[in-house]
A and B are shown apart, each in its own frame.
Chain A
């Protein structure tokens, strides 16, 4: 069964609606073999160590793959050594590859 890649492009601190992508990822992870989150734009703010663990650590422990766009990280001055443990930086080409593999993409 094909998996999902959820593209999180909004600042999760911007309001409760912006956290829905993480809730959905957790729910899907119970049902599907492959669930990924691709953080881009302001969504990479969730990858900051010391802040984003509340959303990402539980998902990573459940097997959700969490990727962060290095372009978006650099735009926001977030260095690779200051991101949540378990988050993998992956260029946008990786998102293209996930889509080409047939992962259903949902943009938040």
Chain B
């Protein structure tokens, strides 16, 4: 249930995100989810790709600092309080979140989570009957 996310270091300069997208788009790699963490000088672009292995190779070839980071994706209902349930379980099991981002399509919302210990988070959420998504499921959204 572990999903390979790519994290790319980019400076806060116009055109940098474009370049990342151009490299991936030209190689026919689809971006299923994306989030940017930024500081005043630089940011980290986090990407869920249809082909993370190829994406990693291509971005490295273009001299980007990029690394694979394991994350998990959990499905919650796209209703008020949907995310609250998930966070309740993680809090009870004492699992802290490093960062997360989310998107909703139709009745569902997908939450991508980065925790210190992915395996522990997977166990906790499975135990509470939460629906975890596999890599191939996300790539098809």
**Pairing of A with B:** no
